Amino acid sequence: MSSSPEALVTTADDFIAAIQRRRTFAIISHPDAGKTTLTEKLLLFGGAIQLAGTVKARKSSRHATSDWMAIEKNRGISVASSVMQFEYADHVINLLDTPGHQDFSEDTYRVLTAVDSALMVIDGGNGVEAQTIKLLEVCRLRDTPIITFMNKFDRESRDPTELMDEVESVLGIQCAPVTWPIGMGKRFRGVYHLLRDEVLVFAAGEETRDQQLERIAGLDNPELDRRFPEEMPELREQVELLRAASNPFCLEDFLEGQQTPVFFGSAINNFGVRELLGALIDWAPSPRSRPTTGRKVSPEEAAFSGFVFKIQANMDPQHRDRVAFLRVCSGHFQRGMKIRHLRLGRDIQVHNPITFLAQERELVEDAYAGDIIGLHNHGSIQIGDSFSQGEALQFTGIPYFAPELFRRVRLRNPLKAKQLQKGLQQLAEEGATQVFKPLQGGDMILGAVGVLQFDVVAERLKGEYAVEALFDPVTVQTARWIHCEDPKMLAEFTRKHEEQLAEDAGGRLAYLAPSRVNLDLTMERWPQVVFHATREHADT
């Protein structure tokens, strides 16, 4: 960015420092745990926004700074993930928001491939919820380091020990309490910081970027007894127990994804936010190496490389464009640079890359590993595409999941077939839905992981492409991408099963199974044909 200290990067040391200064993380949670609220507070502390568009307001008239689309306003949920960059304590923070609703989890999974750590928000009243379990599974697959925030302690919450036990047993990750709540609900007094041996006194909404809350040092400080005579005996007892029985924070275990530091607070009251930012900066990793089909790419390599993990169409109705979100994996990206689109084997010059500061866009001048840049996309970029300065690299691990729900698309006005095709192709490219074109017959079939996706597609087709589409049930239960080494065998398989075969938006062959039994039998009959339940860009 033009205004960042990177304008001064001239030496190799500066280059390394620029990388080490970066933190790229995703916020994950079950819907309603407070993810949007916390995102806003992090942005406030980072100085990226001046005033939080409060979630309450979002759900009525205004909308949260991190939410873009009209549909999000209407439904009051975050549909599309967004990317925000801000500086905090001489670090460059890239925060990736994720949609909380389960129907959009595919998008969330892909966002998790682009980060180096994650911040997990848990509603202290509800504990570990379904969506958190799924998300954590993905984080665990990659050993992503996770920081945990137990939110809403200004309300009656579950017992903090019980909450930690639940995280440990349900999510299978060791907890290391870093702060500990003193009371809850109306009697929420603050938190005790176990590593710094100090009490942070709760005051609703008073901690800001420039103003720190009252801190009282030392658990034995008589000032604490004077202020909190009822709470202190119990707190001392709890702390003694915690020191004896809980896991002390271990940086190595955290970085390996084996242990999560746990913080308590209240996002809506700005309470506990500064501690989270501190943990991100002090403990979360700077950009890490990334696997490709051939080798690992280190962030400190001089040559630029990166991959696209998300495409979003019509993010801003005024711009009417599509943006591909690229995570930089190595090198120094500079505006105007020529980079190679490896799937197409074509160089492109990036004149006007964008970054995202809350709702505003500004041009990116420089970017380093960990940064996310937006490339204007006119249809040539797909999710999973890799870019470099020439070396043939293909970053791996960006998944497409086999959809579980299917609908046949019908047009209300048959003259709009062209617009429908264009709309579906673009929505498929950005991962909003999957589109299959059967080898026999003219209708398109949509696939989704969650049923709400169909509503989103219908609304977006109408709003963005002026097409009214109807969705009919279709007897397809699941899909598998087909791979076969032997071209003769593949031809034979295609001939025998033409009725069940379709091409996805990228032209890859998929088997649309009418039932599980049918799928099992077909797989049994064709042992040389591989049926993939997820498709990685790399294996095409």
Ligand X SMILES: Nc1nc2c(ncn2[C@@H]2O[C@H](COP(=O)(O)OP(=O)(O)OP(=O)(O)O)[C@@H](O)[C@H]2O)c(=O)[nH]1
Using CB under 6 A, list all residues that contact ligand X.
29, 31-37, 55-56, 77-78, 100, 151-152, 154-155, 266-269
At its nearest, how many Å lie between ligand X and the CB of residue 264? 10
In contact, 93 and 48? CB cutoff 8 Å: no
Q: How far apart are CA 259 and CA 256, in angstroms?
A: 8
Residue partners of 167: CB distance under 8 A and separation at least 6: 122, 128, 148, 173, 175, 260, 262
For ligand X, the closer of residues 264 and 465 by Cβ is 264
Q: State the burial class of residue 260 (Cβ atoms within 10 Å of its Cβ: 0-12, 13-18, 19+).
A: buried
In contact, 534 and 402? CB cutoff 8 Å: yes
At its nearest, how many Å lie between ligand X and the CB of residue 488? 50
For ligand X, the closer of residues 35 and 343 by Cβ is 35
For ligand X, the closer of residues 154 and 371 by Cβ is 154
Q: State the burial class of residue 31 (Cβ atoms within 10 Å of its Cβ: 0-12, 13-18, 19+).
A: middle
Q: Which tokens sit at 387?
A: 């870019």
For ligand X, the closer of residues 38 and 479 by Cβ is 38
For ligand X, the closer of residues 31 and 514 by Cβ is 31
Q: What are phi and psi of 4, to 5 degrees?
A: -85, 165
Packed helices 105-112 and 130-141: angle between N→C axes, nearest 10 degrees: 30
At its nearest, how many Å lie between ligand X and the CB of residue 84? 14
At its nearest, how many Å lie between ligand X and the CB of residue 75? 9
The CB-nearest residue to ligand X is 100
Residue 309: HSE in the Cβ half-sphere, 13 Å Cα cutoff: 30
Q: How far apart are CA 66 and CA 69, in angstroms?
A: 10
For ligand X, the closer of residues 279 and 375 by Cβ is 279
Q: How far apart are CA 115 and CA 113, in angstroms?
A: 6
At its nearest, how many Å lie between ligand X and the CB of residue 175? 20
Residues in the chain: 540
Q: Which tokens sit at 523?
A: 């797989």
At its nearest, how many Å lie between ligand X and the CB of residue 182? 16
Beta strand 83-88 pairing with 91-97 = antiparallel
At its nearest, how many Å lie between ligand X and the CB of residue 150? 10
For ligand X, the closer of residues 80 and 432 by Cβ is 80
At its nearest, how many Å lie between ligand X and the CB of residue 161? 20
In contact, 29 and 100? CB cutoff 8 Å: yes
For ligand X, the closer of residues 27 and 519 by Cβ is 27
For ligand X, the closer of residues 96 and 409 by Cβ is 96
Helix or strand (DSSP H, E) at 156: none
Which residue carries 């991959």 as its tokens?
Answer: 307
For ligand X, the closer of residues 40 and 504 by Cβ is 40
At its nearest, how many Å lie between ligand X and the CB of residue 43? 13
Residue partners of 120: CB distance under 8 A and separation at least 6: 28, 29, 132, 135, 136, 146, 147, 148, 149, 260
At its nearest, how many Å lie between ligand X and the CB of residue 70? 15
